[in-house]
Amino acid sequence: MSPRKKTRRKKGELSPTLKLLPWLAVAVVALAAVLWLMFRGRSAGDQAPMEARLVELAAAREVASENIAADDPIRKVDGVFVRTWRIAFPTREDRDGFVGDVQLEGAERGAEVSLPEDLSAKEVRVGLGLGPEAFDLRLAVAAPRPTQPPPTPQPTRAPTATPRPQPPPGARGRLAILLDDGGQSMDLVPQAAALPSAVAVAILPFLPYSAETANAMYDAGHEIWLHLPMEPEGYPNENPGPGALLVAMPPKDLRRTVHSALNNIPHVVGVNNHMGSRATTDLRMMTWVMQELKARNMAFIDSRTTTRTVAEEAARAQGVPTNRRHVFLDNERTQAAIRSQLDEAVYRCRMEGEIIAIGHLAPETVQLLAKELPGLAKRGADLVPPSELVH
C-alpha cells in the first residue's frame, strides 16, 4: 500500500484551524457571558435603558468614559432614529468580547443585531435595531498613550457658574408646536386630535394614510402642513421617502414634484422640510421651491436639519412667509427628555417673544404634550398655531 500523500498549503496561507480562531474566541466569550447572566439572575423587567446598558458593558471591558462618543451623530433613516456610538477599547480582545456581549444583550431584548464579517478590521461595526431607534456601534482599539510625567499642580480657583438670565416677572411669549411625520399610520391620530387645536401636524406625502390623517386632524381644528421630503447628506443610503426633492432634478421636475406633493395633502397651509440637510444648502434649488410656494400662497418653516441651510433666506427673498425651528422636542424619546425640551421652549418664548418647537407624531411626545400643555398658559407661554409665527 502506497503512503498517503499530504496536501501542501501555499506559502503564507493560514490553516483552516487558524482561520477559525477569532470566531472561536468570540464564541468562548459569548458562552462565558451567557453563564454570567444566568447566574446573575437579572430579569427582563429589570432591564436598563439600552444606552445605559452599553455604557455598562463597555465599562466592564475597561473602557474609560472619555473613549465613548455617544450619539455622534444622530440621524434619521427610514423613520428610525439611528444613534452612532464610537467606542475605543484598550485591547482587541476587549473589543471582540464586547461584540459578543452586545449580541447576547440584543438577543435578550429581542433586538435585531448585525455583526461584522471580519473581526480583524481596524474598526468594526455592530448594528442594534430596537424598533423606533437603532444603534450603529463603531468599535476600534485605542492607540496607546505616550507616558508623560505628571503635571505640576497649580493652585486654581474653582470656576463660578454664570447664572442663566431669567425672564422678567410676568413675561409672556407665544409658542407654536408642529408635529412631524404624520401619514404613516392612524394609530396616534385620535390622541393627537385631542391635543389643543393650536398644535399643528406636518404630514408626509404619498403615504397610505396621508390624506386620511390630514382630514381627521383638520376636522378636529388643527392646522395641516406638508412635511416635504428633501435630499439629505448621505443620499441614497439615507432615503427621505416618496416625493423627495433631489438636488440633481431639472427645474421642471422639481416644480412638478412640489406641485404634486401639495396636491396630495388636503387643507395644507404651509410646508416644512423632512430631512433636507443637502437640499436646503442649495440656494438655487431653494429659490425654485419658494417660487412654487409663493404661487400657491404657502408659508415655509425651516426645520433646520443643518446649520448651513439657506432655505429661510430663499423664502424671504421670494416673499414667502417664513420662520425657523428653534427647539427640537424629541431627539431623545423619553418623557424626561421631552419635558426638558418643552421647558426650554417655554423659557425661550418668554425671553425672545416667540418660538417654534418641532416634534414628531410619536407616542412619547403625544403623551407628554397631553399632560403638559393644559398648564402652559400659567407658565407664561401662549400656545398659537405655527401660521401665526411666520412673517
Any idea what the CATH number is for the domain that residue 224 is in? 3.20.20.370
Residue 133's nearest CA partner among 335, 338, 334 is 334
Q: Are residues 289 and 371 in the same domain?
A: yes
Share of the chain above pLDDT 70, in %: 87
pLDDT band at 107 (very low <50, low <70, confident <90, very high): confident
- Residue where one domain finishes, among candidates 97, 125, 141: 141
Is residue 159 domain-resident? no
pLDDT band at 156 (very low <50, low <70, confident <90, very high): confident
pLDDT band at 74 (very low <50, low <70, confident <90, very high): confident
Q: Are residues 133 and 181 in the same domain?
A: no
Q: Which of the pair, 102 or 355, is modelled with greater confidence?
A: 355
Task: Kindly report, residue by residue over 168-179, the tens digit of the pLDDT.
Answer: 999 999 999 999
Query: What integer pLDDT is reported at residue 145 of this predicted model?
Result: 64
pLDDT band at 214 (very low <50, low <70, confident <90, very high): very high
SS3 call for 5: coil
Strands (E), the chain: 68-69, 74-77, 80-89, 112-114, 123-130, 133-141, 173-182, 200-203, 224-230, 268-275, 299-302, 322-324, 327-328, 354-360, 381-383
Is residue 181 domain-resident? yes
Q: Are residues 200 and 331 in the same domain?
A: yes
Query: What integer pLDDT is reported at residue 4 of this predicted model?
Result: 47
Query: What integer pLDDT is reported at residue 6 of this predicted model?
Result: 47
pLDDT band at 164 (very low <50, low <70, confident <90, very high): confident
pLDDT at 289 over 70: yes
Is residue 42 domain-resident? no
- Residue where one domain finishes, among candidates 117, 141, 165: 141
Q: Which of the pair, 19 or 311, is modelled with greater confidence?
A: 311
The residue whose grid cell reads 473602557 is 63
Mean pLDDT of 227-242: 96
Q: Are residues 99 and 198 in the same domain?
A: no
Q: Which of the pair, 51 or 147, is modelled with greater confidence?
A: 51
Query: What integer pLDDT is reported at residue 9 of this predicted model?
Result: 53
Q: Are residues 120 and 186 in the same domain?
A: no
Please tell me the distance from the alpha carbon of residue 180 to that of residue 65, in angstroms, as a whole number.
34
Tell me, what CATH number does 75's domain have? 3.30.460
Is residue 269 domain-resident? yes
Domain span at residue 265 reads 173-389
Query: What integer pLDDT is reported at residue 26 of this predicted model?
Result: 55
Share of the chain above pLDDT 90, in %: 64
Q: Are residues 92 and 226 in the same domain?
A: no
Q: Are residues 247 and 180 in the same domain?
A: yes
pLDDT at 338 over 90: yes
Q: Are residues 204 and 336 in the same domain?
A: yes
Is residue 45 domain-resident? no
Is residue 165 domain-resident? no
Is residue 158 domain-resident? no
Q: Are residues 294 and 351 in the same domain?
A: yes
Q: Are residues 210 and 113 in the same domain?
A: no
Task: Kindly report, residue by residue over 220-230, the tens digit of the pLDDT.
Answer: 999 999 999 99
Q: Which of the pair, 47 or 236, is modelled with greater confidence?
A: 236
- Residue where one domain finishes, among candidates 88, 123, 141: 141
Q: Are residues 220 and 317 in the same domain?
A: yes
Mean pLDDT of 368-387: 97
Query: What integer pLDDT is reported at residue 38 of this predicted model?
Result: 46
pLDDT band at 207 (very low <50, low <70, confident <90, very high): very high
When the pLDDT of each residue in the chain is averaged and rounded to a whole number, the result is 88
Query: What integer pLDDT is reported at residue 13 of this predicted model?
Result: 55
Task: Kindly report, residue by residue over 8-38, the tens digit of the pLDDT.
Answer: 555 555 566 555 566 665 555 555 544 444 4
Residues 372/329, Cβ–Cβ less than 8 Å: no
Q: Are residues 133 and 212 in the same domain?
A: no
Mean pLDDT of 120-141: 89
Is residue 334 domain-resident? yes
Mean pLDDT of 104-128: 86
Q: What is the DSSP string of 324-364?
A: E--EES-SS-SHHHHHHHHHHHHHHHHHHSEEEEEEES-HH
Query: How many separate domains does the chain show?
Result: 2
